[in-house]
């Protein structure tokens, strides 16, 4: 059944598009923004709507929804839909569309092998839905192909497998792409910050209303601190005719970034500090790739389409930092230099600034390359700020506004108030449940958060009773445990999970999910199978060896021992008390609990 749900706030009107702001849209022949939203009163809308319920359907991921919205509302002008193979190849290899227009990032719709096979059976159009089953758009199927994802990773993002975009490409996208134009029914509905969400045309209309002719955009995916504020204010101070659009991303950013709700609350508190009538705040749902040089060029194109005349580019623009070896994915000025190199064909003016540093003597911020000689300067790294939030240490007012720090502390309490997950893994009889039960009692004694116990046998009976002991179903069972654990941890609780968890795939899934919302400690009970057999009161190992019990881990099914974990011990030689103490020591060292000696002094 086709659900007809519309959010008219988001619908673009064809007539409004024709009243384009004087700055032309990027790459379009007539200078107008691309608009792929069908007029609801038009015959064309009725034609697409009448056949939509009979089309093959694709449910879009969060990232795909972000891309669809910006394709349809013109932010990705001149694109009219997801890239076909010809367009994709040109963008990946040459950073330009086939007609020569610069466009650096491939915008693609990935589908599963089965979906691709189904589509190729004769579907010339498909229906795209969001996670709420709302019909978003009909897409022409112009192309179905298998991309060279390795080449895409190397040429677009630099090739390091730890790069967030490459990791996403390798682990979260399917291996077949579908290209074609979009015919939109509605933009994806949003229920937050309705007053701050504006399409490119609505932003252009806002500039007209405010009589702004020179407007610089400031891109951010982080909370704004004093240095960001002073940098943007400097852009206003240097040109009295300049106005500012604070234009943060509320789509997808780097894993581990502060959530957009917290960030938007920070932005709201900062906006009144700008000169009256010279600054505005608009949010938009970009799915960032953190692509350094190509990302910077992409951001310029997007801001041009939103009607901006200028764009602020700072050091390390759109870079994801460093890999696990400490090597930066991009050099400090690589993104900025790439955008400057292509500034003429981008058609937007760039304002470049150095990092801002604070002079306590002057109570003032300077660009670090023009600090007066002899002035002492201060700065705090992002890592240090995150550490102070984690530990509850002071964050000085010269670094950030009181209101911002207060919001950040509410959203990110110190670790001794955060939730965490202790995830045991090991063979049956390795001592997991025994130590887990003892740990639960100890944690209840020394701290105030609630502790949830997820025992493997109990989960099997209550949550996964329909699952078999095949590898697929075992992985699904552990993924369910990981999901539930992450929900409890996100709400500030403590979870102790003690399944066998024989496979790396599902353990990694649980780690990823739980680590995003709180602490995570994997405890490997490495007790050898011989010891486990001797402890087996139920005779399960004997039954498995006699063939009376199938799919028994350690006998007829494999156990993939963890290669990396926070704690590992063999309970043949480690007592229950010693095992608990090792875990408690780790929690204390990481700041999730207060050590007993420290607690007594408080």
Residues designated catalytic: 220-222
Q: Are 55 and 123 in contact (CB under 8 A)?
A: yes
Question: Can you tell me whether residue 145 is helix, strand or coil?
Answer: strand
* Euclidean distance between CA atoms 300 and 285, whole angstroms: 16
The label of the residue with tokens 């923004």 reads 33
Phi, psi (rounded to 5 degrees) for 243 = -125, 165
Of 350, 126, 92, 338, whose CA–CA distance to 219 is shortest?
350
Facing residues of 454 across strands? 497
Alpha carbon distance, N-terminus to C-terminus of the chain: 62
**Cα–Cα distances in angstroms (integers) from residue 186 to residues 4, 49, 206, 287, in the given order:** 10, 11, 21, 19
Q: Are 68 and 139 in contact (CB under 8 A)?
A: no
* Euclidean distance between CA atoms 513 and 491, whole angstroms: 14
Facing residues of 523 across strands? 424, 567
Residue 151's Cα: distance from chain center in Å?
A: 23
Question: Can you tell me whether residue 313 is helix, strand or coil?
Answer: strand
Of 96, 64, 62, whose CA–CA distance to 78 is shortest?
96
- The DSSP annotation for 397-446 comes to TTTS-HHHHHHHHHHS--GGGS-EEEEEEE-TTSSHHHHHHHHHHHHHHH
Of 259, 258, 3, whose CA–CA distance to 134 is shortest?
3
What's the chain's length in residues? 602
Task: Count CA within 13 A, CB hemisphere, residue 276.
Answer: 0
Stated as kind and residue range, the H or E segment containing 176 is strand 176-184
Stated as kind and residue range, the H or E segment containing 7 is none
- For the sheet with 494-498, list strands across it: 451-455, 494-498, 420-426, 519-525, 567-569
Of 320, 308, 297, whose CA–CA distance to 221 is shortest?
320
């Amino acid at each position: 059944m086709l659900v007809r749900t519309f959010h008219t706030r988001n619908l673009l009107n064809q007539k409004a598009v024709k009243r384009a702001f004087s700055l032309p849209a990027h790459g379009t022949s007539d200078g107008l923004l691309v608009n792929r939203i069908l007029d609801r009163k038009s015959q064309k809308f009725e034609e697409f709507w009448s056949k939509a319920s009979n089309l093959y359907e694709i449910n879009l991921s969060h990232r795909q929804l972000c891309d669809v919205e910006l394709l349809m509302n013109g932010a990705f002008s001149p694109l009219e839909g997801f890239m076909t193979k010809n367009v994709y190849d040109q963008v990946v290899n040459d950073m330009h569309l086939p007609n020569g227009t610069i466009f650096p990032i491939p915008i693609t719709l990935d589908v599963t092998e089965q979906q691709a096979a189904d589509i190729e059976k004769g579907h010339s159009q498909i229906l795209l839905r969001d996670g709420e089953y709302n019909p978003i758009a009909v897409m022409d199927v112009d192309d179905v192909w298998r991309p060279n994802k390795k080449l895409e990773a190397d040429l677009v993002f630099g090739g390091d497998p730890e790069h967030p975009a490459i990791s996403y490409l390798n682990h979260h996208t399917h291996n077949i792409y579908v290209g074609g134009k979009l015919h939109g029914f509605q933009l994806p509905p949003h229920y937050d910050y309705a007053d701050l969400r504006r399409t490119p045309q609505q932003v252009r209309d806002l500039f007209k209303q405010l009589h702004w002719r020179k407007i610089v955009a400031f891109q951010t995916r982080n909370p704004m601190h004093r240095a960001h504020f002073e940098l943007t204010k400097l852009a206003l101070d240097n040109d009295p005719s300049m106005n500012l659009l604070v234009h943060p991303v509320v789509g997808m950013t780097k894993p581990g970034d502060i959530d957009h709700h917290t960030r938007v609350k920070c932005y709201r508190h900062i906006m009144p500090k700008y000169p009256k009538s010279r600054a505005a705040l608009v949010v938009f749902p970009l799915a960032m790739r953190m692509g350094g040089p190509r990302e910077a060029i992409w951001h310029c194109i997007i801001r041009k389409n939103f009607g901006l005349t200028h764009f602020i580019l700072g050091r390390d623009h759109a870079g994801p930092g460093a890999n696990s070896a400490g090597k930066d994915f991009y050099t400090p000025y690589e993104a900025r230099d790439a955008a400057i190199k292509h500034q003429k064909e981008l058609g937007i003016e760039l304002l470049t600034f150095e990092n801002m540093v604070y002079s306590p003597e002057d109570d003032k911020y300077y660009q670090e390359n023009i600090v007066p000689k002899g002035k002492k300067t201060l700065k705090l790294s992002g890592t240090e700020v995150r550490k102070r939030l984690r530990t509850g240490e002071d964050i000085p007012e010269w670094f950030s506004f009181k209101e911002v720090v207060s919001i950040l502390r509410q959203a990110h309490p110190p670790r001794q108030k955060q939730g965490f997950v202790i995830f045991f893994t090991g063979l049956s009889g390795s001592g997991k449940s025994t130590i887990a039960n003892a740990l639960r009692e100890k944690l209840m004694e020394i701290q105030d958060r609630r502790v949830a116990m997820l025992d493997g046998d109990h989960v099997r009976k209550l949550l996964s009773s329909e699952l078999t002991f095949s590898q697929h179903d075992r992985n699904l069972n552990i993924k369910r445990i990981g999901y539930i654990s992450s929900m409890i941890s996100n709400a500030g609780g403590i979870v102790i999970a003690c399944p066998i968890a024989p496979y790396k795939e599902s353990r990694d899934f649980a780690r990823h999910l739980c680590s995003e919302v709180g602490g995570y400690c994997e405890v490997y009970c490495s007790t050898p199978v011989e010891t486990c057999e001797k402890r087996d009161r139920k005779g399960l190992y004997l039954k498995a060896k006699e063939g009376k019990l199938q799919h028994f881990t350690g006998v007829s099914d494999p156990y993939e021992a963890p290669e990396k974990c926070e704690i590992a011990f063999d309970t043949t030689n480690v007592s229950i008390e010693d095992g608990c103490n090792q875990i408690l020591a780790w929690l204390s060292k990481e700041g999730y609990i207060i050590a007993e000696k420290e607690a007594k002094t408080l």
